Structure 1
């Protein structure tokens, strides 16, 4: 995707302190320099809703601690991995709730996009079925999570897209490239809110998300640039993340430093201060949820968890029911995930 100008000088990022040594943050085959790293800002669940809304507006994300009870999240983790207990995915003798990767059975097919591609038809069937089990559907309908979405957005009622993304990212697997969510949900013009839910603890080197600080303006500029260049596209191409104007994967870049270099050059020509951008990382705990804007730029870190823990998470998207009923969202996303749905 062609570079677009940075629209505003970014605010200072939440930087690492001298007492906090930067982790070795890996994405795919490269590392990110410590000078480009910062920490995500956490927000307690009992903060005022005004503060939570303001942080989403200011930062493009709000990381809310302990939205769901820890025991409920760990029960979901145990349920998910129990479905793979006889496939060779988990280390023998370990509990499903721990989700420890079986490195002795490591094969290249486990190292696809997201680091958790299933091996063969049987694992694929189980992963597909995992998106519609009663336990999972109850989990993503958790009262505390849904109330938080409604409170943040001041909606009377929310609609969650049926197409959610359960991802299990194994140690050493590949990472999700740099993107913003609007890239993949262009059908319809309504605002949507993403909730990224780690299902278990995820350390800063365990494969969690990383966010580009103050990036909503840049993401919106990229989207505006796309709108201009796609005027002669068919309607089908306009809403596809894999049209002729996009990279093969739909991502903006495979690596944070590649993305930073491209957009810093543009910013220097334009006279804006892109050097203030930082990639923000965190140590997430079971029960946490990160809510973010559709144009917030982010990706996932490589999973280098020293204990071999598999990162499990789900991506949820929410619309105001009034917008959804008015036809301002894309109904393609009301189908449950399938590996071949090309969405």
Structure 2
């Protein structure tokens, strides 16, 4: 598959397909792919019906759907301004107190919390990482991205979790089907080393900052919203190379409810712009796992709240 996807700025990106890993592959094979590619994309880990029920719960909570439409569809009510509803990490928060409160409450809904504890999800995390016990950071990030709203810019996750020396694993979970051009996550191939080099450069430049500033993804050396770029096309072109690591192309997929992508803290990624062809609100969540007892970023052991600085 090759599909044109867009970011917030710049021309469309001709993206290629993410490599799928069969869910019955050995954990040894998954670890090999995580080391090689920086991600493991596995379909149908979670029961589709369970994920769809979470989508219905989320759409109902956030309250941006078209009256009379099915909650599972989550069709955006275009009487709202889409530019005010890009989701956490994509621009400013919604304009009303009630809408912000709904985003907070979305993180504590019962079906969502049940999904976070699903044994299939937890067993894959432990198996891939060879951990005896995994710890999920309480600060999960549900993103409700309206059609034609701002998407999440180019970044790698370690930017935001700089405290603590332990490595972590991200699990990105689409809550419902998400087309590649409907807000799906897009990865820059062979980019773990890119992220590590950028982070090492930031660390050198931040050596004279206070500890609080040095740990922040929003310090004086960072871009707006703590991201690397809003232009995926330009960023990919600058960092594309064939010298020893293979081509660096953007990679996407047509995600389905039940899929999970596990990825390295340094792999460069972004969200495609939700082009709104079907009017669906793009809902997903970002989960970060550490091994129990490791030196984790304890700033993230609180639920997400607006203005928490992370």
- TM more than 0.5: yes
Question: In structure 2, what is the equivalent of residue 106 of structure 1?
Answer: 81
Q: CA RMSD in A?
A: 2.0
| Residues 1:107 and 1:256: Cα distance change in structure 2 (over 3 Å) | closer
Question: In structure 1, what is the equivalent of residue 277 of structure 2?
Answer: 306
> C-alpha separation between the residues in 2 aligned to 1:136 and 1:98?
17
The secondary structure found in structure 1 opposite 2:173 is strand
| Residues 1:134 and 1:237: Cα distance change in structure 2 (over 3 Å) | same
Q: Which has the larger radius of gyration?
A: 1
Q: 2:299 aligns with which of 332, 337, 341?
A: 332
* Structure 2 residue ranges without an equivalent (≥5): none
Q: 1:72 aligns with which of 50, 59, 65?
A: 50
* Structure 1 residue ranges without an equivalent (≥5): 1-19
Q: 1:144 aligns with which of 120, 133, 152?
A: 120
User: Do structure 1's residue 281 and structure 2's residue 256 form an aligned pair?
Assistant: no
Q: 1:48 aligns with which of 26, 37, 58?
A: 26
Q: 2:153 aligns with which of 177, 191, 209?
A: 177
| Residues 1:70 and 1:116: Cα distance change in structure 2 (over 3 Å) | farther
The secondary structure found in structure 2 opposite 1:329 is coil
1:1-343 alignment runs, 5 A limit: 20=1, 22-34=2-14, 37-85=15-63, 89-106=64-81, 108-111=83-86, 113-114=89-90, 117-263=93-239, 272=243, 276-323=247-294, 328-343=295-310
> C-alpha separation between the residues in 1 aligned to 2:147 and 2:195?
29
> C-alpha separation between the residues in 2 aligned to 1:178 and 1:117?
19
> C-alpha separation between the residues in 2 aligned to 1:320 and 1:245?
30
Q: What's the TM-score once normalised by structure 2's chain length?
A: 0.94
| Residues 1:184 and 1:193: Cα distance change in structure 2 (over 3 Å) | same
Number of equivalences: 309
> C-alpha separation between the residues in 2 aligned to 1:40 and 1:281?
5
Question: In structure 2, what is the equivalent of residue 13 of structure 1?
Answer: none
Q: What's the TM-score once normalised by structure 1's chain length?
A: 0.85
Contact 2:83 2:150 (8 Å CA) reproduced = no
Contact 1:44 1:66 (8 Å CA) reproduced = no
